[in-house]
Structure 1
Amino acid sequence: MSASTRVFVARLAGTVVFDPIGDQVGRVRDVVVLVRAKGAPRAVGLVVEVPGRRRVFLPLTRVTSVDAGQVISTGLVNLRRFEQRAMESLVLGELLDRRVQLTDGSGEVTIEDVSIAQQRTGDWLVDQLFVRRRSARGSGPFRRGSTLTVPVDAVQDLTSRQADQGAARLLEAYQDMRAADLADVIRDLGTARRMEIAAALDDERLADVLEELPEDAQVSIVSGLDRDRAADVLEVMEPDDAADLLHELPQEQAAQLLNLMEPEEAADVRRLLEYAEDTAGGLMTTEPVILGADDTIATALAQIRRKELPPALASLVFVVRPPLETPTGRFLGVAHFQRLLREPPHAAVASMLDTETEWLTPDASVGQVTRLLAAYDLLALPVLDAQRRLLGVVTVDDVLDHILPDDWRGSDDERLEAIAAQSAPAARPGTSRPGQGRRGAARA
């Protein structure tokens, strides 16, 4: 087999796709191949992530140049969301980590990378596999066997799938992905493959990914985990996200997981479960940045500088009397991030409090929450009880998660625009709403 261009797919992950004039179209996330019973698998296109975190299909017939550094397309990209067909396989998502037998009878190997090569006819075929032999001394993490590159016809059963495929190489290819992007990858895979990836992720990474998945995918993964592991992951999740997930589980299963969680972590989640989902109490998180009146601005800035803190929660510091854990002592006010930057670090946060900020009761409706956030251009609002104790905080992203459709993460832009248009004022004659006249194909 002669080939003019060859590239290993794992090296393509994250590669930038450009149009002919040098504008960035998106990034490669996977390669789609047709695995056939006879003959080499044929590569038919790239899965490309375009702005808006949408994954679209780019046929290889529209690619003029491909290597590990960049991909050049013709500039025309169909913006319809990629949906995998029954006969298609994803190289990174499904073929990596697959175990196959060598045709010469020398044993089992694991696929660690796949090369595609362009033929003189213009077709792209899978021509080589980078594989690892299983060590004769064992199968532990430090007993990896030798590696070799073999022609694709040197292995058999490439179409077969094992029950315990593993996901180490896939996660290595996607190691720099944000949790939301990895969630997009996982959502489009089959249930079995999702569980293999979930098993390979550590608890914190899995918790971050679960928070970005639709509810049905969350339930599927958590239900497939060992109960102790599921409880550990729930402990790492934000309490409001964990409560939302438990709301979707059967009552008996949810109770079992709560009993397996650490009492301190479970207490916050149990408290959130007491509120209706469409109220401020059901939306709030119980872990905002909370300080006492005598704490300094330097302490406040150190708290909101934490990498894991969401931007909406980092916009405000909530100042209370002891205790500083929710439910706190009496709520005193908030310190705005921008104001903190303008004051001397040694000053007390109590010296520059906003004591007139709007606040919510735990039974406030989603409509009330939305109106207050919009009216005062806020990213977060405190939730107080009758004694003015801080119970938690509702952020703008909590509200968006609630008012958008359940499957919004899998929706395309046209559908979300249509949903937004339904609640927007009617357009005047001669005007158009954003997105009107949009087509499935657009100039990238």
Structure 2
Amino acid sequence: MSGSPSRVYVARLAGLPVYDPNGDQVGKVRDVVAMMRQGTQPPRVLGLVVEVFTRRRIFLPMTRVTNVDVGHVTTTGLVNMRRFEQRPTEVLVLGEMLDRTVTVLETGATAVVFDMAMEQWRTRDWVLSKVAVREGGKRFRRRGQSHVFDWADVSGFAQVEEGQGATHILAAFESMKAADLAAVLHDLSPKRRKEIAAALEDERLADVLEELPEDDQVEILAALDTERAADVLEEMSPDDAADLIAELPTETAEALLTLMEPDEAEDVRRLLTYEERTAGGLMTSEPVILPADATVADALAHVRNADLSPALAAMIYVCRPPLETPTGRFIGIGHIQRLLREPPSELVSAVLDTDLDGLRPDDSLTTVSKYLATYNLVAAPVLNDEGRLLGAVTVDDVLDHLLPDDWRESDQPGDNDSQEVDHDAS
């Protein structure tokens, strides 16, 4: 590994692409795995946790890493695709060691870890040799300054720390998509999950919760104080919030609904009246709804909203007032692909698809799936008996319910835990 720098700071590895010798990307670095040792010996770095393109997290031994450079990691062509499972003797450097409070042995001052450096010894073993800390105690001359110490010069990693912060791990994972951060949280201990969730902003936490398995969602929400839990639920899409609330004890669910804003709570309560695997239980009550006198320019401006999922942004729903669900009479749908070909000043009512009968809220999951497949749609309107729009079902929510309950955790179809994929053979 002669091309690698002698010292690598771990936080800078987060999210770096991992390439095989041919220059093809294998995945991205998500964490570093180390093993604690007795006395003052620095922990041995065992390898990297790499997320491959199936969103599976695998273990890449350091013996397979041929280069660690600015902006990327290179591996040998042979990568074991077995899912990573952390052993009791192992520690995740980013997930568990950042934000720890340690003591500087020479002065007795306390400080918070914001990074760690690993380097390769002459034995070719990689170790965590340096600890980068930010001053926090009174015995430092100036609070907030940063220092780098040898591993042997600090203590505090051996004991369990209650109330560990999450500032620096979140900085390392700041650019992650919500689904990727959810995968990181899922693989951490319950203690660390709760600490990181507590440090996330409400909107970010809501996005992450929507990507987690139900057990993790309930665990994290239960760890928040009731008022904050209600705030986070308000930031979630109504259908996801309803699914989560349905998993809570009745008393807890009612307390949270009471604390939510009345309009937000009303949407969730309405969704909770439908069976889970029906169009009503699958739908969101907040699609893009426009009046008949809206222009194409108006429609395009609405679907530019970055908070909309691609499926929701693919279609607009034109109705008579009121425009909040349940709306006035539903008129038709506007496909964004069609609207992009029209003059901005054109009325959307002139280019609507009015031939499709919408779904009914009690339609089964099978009926919904067939409807989307038959008409090649990524979303569909849900109407009541009076022809009012109740919401829209999107293909991503349908897939969530068609797949096994543990699909976020289970292996991808066709993957073999013991398979080794030779990236040189292509």
* TM-score bucket of the superposed structures, by smaller chain: over 0.9
Letter of the 2:385 counterpart: A
Q: Distance in 2 between matches of 1:57 and 1:225?
A: 32
Letter of the 1:329 counterpart: G
Name 2:20's counterpart in structure 1: 19
Contact 2:50 2:58 in 1 (8 A): yes
Q: Distance in 2 between matches of 1:84 and 1:195?
A: 19
Name 1:151's counterpart in structure 2: 150
- How far does residue 358 in structure 1 lie from its aligned partner after superposition? 3.7
Q: Distance in 1 between matches of 2:108 and 2:393?
A: 60
Q: Distance in 1 between matches of 2:139 and 2:339?
A: 59
Give the superposed CA RMSD: 1.7
- How far does residue 23 in structure 1 lie from its aligned partner after superposition? 1.4
Name 2:386's counterpart in structure 1: 387
User: Identity rate of aligned residues, in percent?
Assistant: 58
Secondary structure of the residue that 1:184 maps to in structure 2?
A: helix
Letter of the 1:25 counterpart: V
Distance verdict in 2 for CA 1:51–1:368, change over 3 Å: same
Q: Distance in 2 between matches of 1:182 and 1:115?
A: 23
- How far does residue 136 in structure 1 lie from its aligned partner after superposition? 3.2
Q: Distance in 1 between matches of 2:223 and 2:324?
A: 33
Name 1:428's counterpart in structure 2: none
- How far does residue 116 in structure 1 lie from its aligned partner after superposition? 0.7
- 1:261-280 equivalences in 2 (<5 Å): 261-280=260-279
Contact 1:318 1:335 in 2 (8 A): yes
Letter of the 2:421 counterpart: A
Secondary structure of the residue that 1:45 maps to in structure 2?
A: strand
Secondary structure of the residue that 1:58 maps to in structure 2?
A: strand
Q: Distance in 2 between matches of 1:325 and 1:137?
A: 59
- How far does residue 69 in structure 1 lie from its aligned partner after superposition? 2.4
Secondary structure of the residue that 2:227 maps to in structure 1?
A: helix
Q: Distance in 2 between matches of 1:135 and 1:42?
A: 29
- 1:110-259 equivalences in 2 (<5 Å): 110-136=112-138, 144-259=143-258
Distance verdict in 2 for CA 1:272–1:4, change over 3 Å: closer
Letter of the 1:107 counterpart: A
1:397-426 Cα offsets, whole Å, 9 max, x none, are 01111111121111111xxx2xxxxxxxxx
Letter of the 2:371 counterpart: L
- How far does residue 330 in structure 1 lie from its aligned partner after superposition? 0.4
Q: Distance in 1 between matches of 2:359 and 2:16?
A: 46
Distance verdict in 2 for CA 1:137–1:253, change over 3 Å: farther
Q: Distance in 1 between matches of 2:139 and 2:225?
A: 29
409, 421, 424: which one aligns with 1:442: 421
Letter of the 1:86 counterpart: P
Q: Distance in 1 between matches of 2:173 and 2:230?
A: 26
Contact 2:109 2:137 in 1 (8 A): no
Letter of the 2:204 counterpart: R
Contact 2:315 2:336 in 1 (8 A): yes
Contact 1:31 1:92 in 2 (8 A): yes
Distance verdict in 2 for CA 1:348–1:226, change over 3 Å: same
Name 1:31's counterpart in structure 2: 32
Distance verdict in 2 for CA 1:438–1:236, change over 3 Å: closer
Name 1:426's counterpart in structure 2: none
With 324-333 and 65-74 compared, the bigger mean Cα shift is at 65-74
Name 1:430's counterpart in structure 2: none
Q: Distance in 2 between matches of 1:48 and 1:191?
A: 21
Q: Distance in 2 between matches of 1:109 and 1:67?
A: 29
Secondary structure of the residue that 1:409 maps to in structure 2?
A: coil
Unaligned runs of 5+ in 2: none
Contact 1:135 1:146 in 2 (8 A): no
Q: Distance in 2 between matches of 1:214 and 1:225?
A: 17
Note if 1:348 corresponds to 2:378.
no
- How far does residue 368 in structure 1 lie from its aligned partner after superposition? 0.3
Q: Distance in 2 between matches of 1:228 and 1:234?
A: 10
- How far does residue 338 in structure 1 lie from its aligned partner after superposition? 1.0
Secondary structure of the residue that 1:408 maps to in structure 2?
A: coil
With 264-273 and 143-152 compared, the bigger mean Cα shift is at 143-152
Name 1:316's counterpart in structure 2: 315
Note if 1:59 corresponds to 2:61.
yes
Secondary structure of the residue that 2:246 maps to in structure 1?
A: helix
1:237-283 Cα offsets, whole Å, 9 max, x none, are 00000000001111111111001101111000000001110111011
Contact 1:76 1:441 in 2 (8 A): yes
Q: Distance in 1 between matches of 2:198 and 2:161?
A: 15
Q: Distance in 1 between matches of 2:178 and 2:395?
A: 19
Q: Distance in 1 between matches of 2:417 and 2:204?
A: 37
- How far does residue 4 in structure 1 lie from its aligned partner after superposition? 7.3
- Could you state the TM-score of these two structures normalised by the residue count of structure 2? 0.95
Secondary structure of the residue that 1:193 maps to in structure 2?
A: helix
- How far does residue 437 in structure 1 lie from its aligned partner after superposition? 8.2
Contact 1:4 1:120 in 2 (8 A): no
Name 1:307's counterpart in structure 2: 306
Name 1:47's counterpart in structure 2: 49
Q: Distance in 2 between matches of 1:115 and 1:70?
A: 16
Letter of the 2:109 counterpart: G
Contact 2:82 2:416 in 1 (8 A): no
Q: Distance in 2 between matches of 1:81 and 1:270?
A: 39
- How far does residue 144 in structure 1 lie from its aligned partner after superposition? 4.7
1:99-130 Cα offsets, whole Å, 9 max, x none, are 01122243111111111111111111111100
Name 1:425's counterpart in structure 2: none
Secondary structure of the residue that 2:297 maps to in structure 1?
A: helix
- Could you state the TM-score of these two structures normalised by the residue count of structure 1? 0.91
- How far does residue 157 in structure 1 lie from its aligned partner after superposition? 2.5
Note if 1:293 corresponds to 2:292.
yes
Distance verdict in 2 for CA 1:372–1:208, change over 3 Å: same
Contact 2:311 2:378 in 1 (8 A): yes
98, 103, 106: which one aligns with 2:105: 103
Secondary structure of the residue that 2:339 maps to in structure 1?
A: helix
Q: Distance in 1 between matches of 2:82 and 2:44?
A: 23
Name 2:398's counterpart in structure 1: 399
Count residues in correspondence.
418
- How far does residue 135 in structure 1 lie from its aligned partner after superposition? 5.0
Letter of the 2:399 counterpart: L
- How far does residue 439 in structure 1 lie from its aligned partner after superposition? 5.5
Secondary structure of the residue that 2:99 maps to in structure 1?
A: coil
Contact 2:107 2:139 in 1 (8 A): no
- How far does residue 66 in structure 1 lie from its aligned partner after superposition? 1.2
